[in-house]
Amino acid sequence: MKWKQILFIIVLFCLSFLPNNATAETMNNDVLHWSFKPSKNEEPATTEPEFLRLLQNAGGYFIGDTERKVLYLTFDNGYENGYTEKVLDVLKEKEVPAAFFVTGHYLDSAPELVKRMVAEGHIVGNHSWHHPSLPAIDDERLARELVKVKKRFTELTGVDYMSYLRPPRGEFSERSLELSEAEGYINVFWSLAYADWDVNKQKGADYAYEKIMSRIHPGAIMLLHSVSSDNAEALPRVIDEAKKQGYCFESLDELVSSDVLP
């Protein structure tokens, strides 16, 4: 056997003992900031081709079936500001499913609301424990951020699974998408949103209603923040008007299963 062949075999042997996350270290970790072109006249929102490619490679979503008048309502819950109970009341009355993406702080400060979300059939997703930029932290901490949320959620509710992740701050990278997918998560971004998170810059329910309805489109994954008083006040009208226009509301589970099942 020639020495080059021997060397090749030795190299392959050594490579077989490398840790499985070696490939993660070579993934692109440039920080990307989620962005999209909002819908106009019910035309589907669009995003950067590179963002779409990365999402598809990692099995993530930012939009649903644009051929159906279906909406997916999601909320980010970093902390409680007194409006989530009203949001849940509206969802119950209107029989609309939603997903709530929670942080560690939210789980510890509003456990009864989290239990109610589960009891009333809503999805609770992972928004990380400390709300860091996921590309900015190492592999071990990224895993801990997600594991701690799931562990605390299970302790509170008895539900031992958590399927969806909303990357904090809308910041992501090829690496963070792949690592979170390896942890068992489907990354969920959004195709409808507006600047609703600043509690000191609320502009009234009419403003929220107009912003949301002007950007509605088939397959929209809607991102709202539950800290917003405007959202809580506008939500009943938004749901009623969307239904009047022929839209229905479905859960993220239905979105994912429609892609998996024939």
pLDDT of res. 26: 77
Q: Are 192 and 74 in contact (CB under 8 A)?
A: no
Residue 56: partners with Cβ closer than 8 Å, 6 or more residues away = none
Catalytic residue among 127, 196, 225, 230: 225
The pLDDT value recorded for residue 27 is 87
DSSP state of 21: T
pLDDT computed for residue 233 by the predictor:
98
Coil, strand, or helix at residue 67? coil
Count structural domains, the chain: 1
Phi-psi region of 76 (alpha: psi -120 to 50; beta: other; left: phi over 0): beta
pLDDT of residue 110: 98
pLDDT of residue 6: 38
10 belongs to a structural domain: no
Instruction: For residue 219, tell me if it sits in a domain.
Output: yes
Residue 130: give its domain's CATH number.
3.20.20.370
- Is 228 a member of any domain? yes
- Residue ranges making up the domain that contains 230: 49-256
The reply to whether 138 belongs to the active site is no
Q: Please tell me which residue in 76, 122, 127, 230 is annotated as part of the active site.
A: 76
pTM: 0.89
CA quadruple 192, 249, 197, 190: dihedral sign = negative
Q: Is residue 18 part of a domain?
A: no
Distances (CA, A) of 102 to 99, 138, 153, 221, 261: 10, 21, 9, 17, 28
Query: Looking at the domain assignment, is residue 76 inside a domain?
Result: yes
Residue 108 lies in a domain: yes
Residue 65 known to be catalytic: no
**What was the pLDDT predicted at 41?**
93
Per-residue tens of pLDDT for the chain, all 262 residues:
444 333 333 433 343 344 444 455 678 998 999 999 999 999 999 999 999 999 999 999 999 999 999 999 999 999 999 999 999 999 999 999 999 999 999 999 999 999 999 999 999 999 999 999 999 999 999 999 999 999 999 999 999 999 999 999 999 999 999 999 999 999 999 999 999 999 999 999 999 999 999 999 999 999 999 999 999 999 999 999 999 999 999 999 999 998 764 4
Asked whether residue 173 is assigned to any structural domain, the reply reads: yes
Question: Which two structure tokens, joined as six digits, stand for 25?
Answer: 């270290």
> For residue 205, is it within any domain?
yes
